[in-house]
Amino acid sequence: MSGNLFTDPGNAAQSQEHVEELLCRSGCAVERIVSTGQASPPGFWYDQETAEWVVLLSGAAELQFEDETAPRKMRPGDWINIAAHRRHRVNWTDPAQPSIWLAIHYR
């Protein structure tokens, strides 16, 4: 299996993110996520069973952690490791260009 992380998923005008699983092995999954202006719904917080290492490859975004007062602005190349059950949300992704994420979920 092979591909290109920057290939247009063909949904740039759609209202939903494009999530593509690139690899899944015991205790580890790799995803490519393409956001086109999406954000977490008001009051929603991710509370994941697994840890997640994520890097923003293109675009721009803003993450908010429940245990932090200030949101984190993300630019291409910025990455973060999110511990399992650390509540977080996506406040904003750039509506003018695709925001491409590479996410690794692991135990």
- The structural domains of the chain, with segments of one domain joined by +, span 40-106
Q: Tell me, what's the pLDDT at 16? A: 87
> What does DSSP assign to residue 1?
-
Q: Which residues pair with 58 in a beta bridge?
A: 100
Give φ, ψ of 55 to 5 degrees: -130, 140
Give me the chain's average pLDDT, please.
Answer: 95
Global pTM reads 0.92
Tell me the CATH number for domain 40-106. 2.60.120.10
Q: Tell me, what's the pLDDT at 84? A: 98
Q: Tell me, what's the pLDDT at 53? A: 98
- 38-85 pLDDT tens trace: 999 999 999 999 999 999 999 999 999 999 999 999 999 999 999 999
Q: Tell me, what's the pLDDT at 74? A: 98
Least trusted range by pLDDT, from 4-8, 11-15, 28-32, 61-65: 11-15
Decide if pLDDT at 14 tops 90. no
- Vertex 50 angle, CA 62 and 97, to 5°: 30
